[in-house]
Amino acid sequence: MNIEEYNTTVDLYSDGVYRFILKNIKNEEKAKDIVQDTYEKLWINAGNVNFQKVKSYVFTTAYHTMIDLIRKEKRMTDFENVREERYSHSKQYSDLGEILNHGLNNLNEIQRSVILLRDYEGYSYKEIGEITGLSEPQVKVYIFRARVYLKEFIGSMDAVI
């Protein structure tokens, strides 16, 4: 990959990678850092990456960088991990999008990632498998289970009220 192809890659995929990471970790600064780290890794390995497969490489690298960050943060405890909803209440309907985001937050990391890649970013099952390192049948199972959970979550009166 040459400099022109690298710059094209940044133009084409950086926004999509940022949205994917931001939707998963809900922190703009960390999402920006992950995207920056991803493109730094791409720059270092530019000679080994085929331009035709760079999209998969970028998303896979970003996904693994995000997982590493999440695992690192699980070992650390700090004030940012305090959940406001445990100490406050809201009995009023706010927004279906808000309820859906709350449901997405309740999913485990893998289910949330595959659902976001499939339904928000529009990747095929095969591409999601390449990005996450899962087999195509595993991807389908995770997506199915996540959708069933979200359907039940949104359908419950507790979520709407």
pLDDT surpassing 90 at residue 88: no
Query: Would 84 be classed as within a structural domain?
Result: no
Residues 101 and 53 in one domain: no
pTM of the model: 0.55
Residues 65 and 107 in one domain: no
CATH number of residue 131's parent domain: 1.10.10.10
pLDDT, residue 90, reads 54
Q: What is the mean pLDDT of residues 93-110?
A: 81
Residues 71 and 102 in one domain: no
CATH number of residue 27's parent domain: 1.10.1740
pLDDT, residue 85, reads 63
Residues 106 and 59 in one domain: no
pLDDT, residue 120, reads 86
pLDDT surpassing 70 at residue 145: yes
Residues 35 and 57 in one domain: yes
Q: What is the mean pLDDT of residues 134-159?
A: 85
- CB-facing half-sphere around the CA of 120: CA atoms within 13 A: 18
* Residue 51, burial from CB neighbour count under 10 angstroms (0-12, 13-18, 19+): middle
Query: Would 53 be classed as within a structural domain?
Result: yes
Residues 62 and 132 in one domain: no
Please say whether the beta carbons of 131 and 137 come within 8 A: no
Single residue among 79, 97, 113 that ends a domain in this structure: 79
Spatial separation of the C-alpha atoms in residues 43 and 134, rounded to whole Å: 26
Domain count for the chain: 2
Spatial separation of the C-alpha atoms in residues 142 and 53, rounded to whole Å: 25
Single residue among 46, 79, 112 that ends a domain in this structure: 79
Q: What is the domain extent for residue 115?
A: 89-161
- CB-facing half-sphere around the CA of 113: CA atoms within 13 A: 24
Q: What is the mean pLDDT of residues 148-152?
A: 89
pLDDT, residue 75, reads 73
pLDDT surpassing 70 at residue 91: no
Tens of pLDDT, residues 21-75: 999 998 999 999 999 999 999 999 888 888 889 999 999 999 999 999 988 887 7
Q: Which of 18-27, 71-80, 118-127, 133-142 has the lowest mean pLDDT?
A: 71-80
Pair of tokens at residue 155: 């359908």
Spatial separation of the C-alpha atoms in residues 54 and 14, rounded to whole Å: 12
Single residue among 79, 109, 131 that ends a domain in this structure: 79
Distance of CA 130 to the CA centre of its chain: 14
Please say whether the beta carbons of 54 and 4 come within 8 A: no
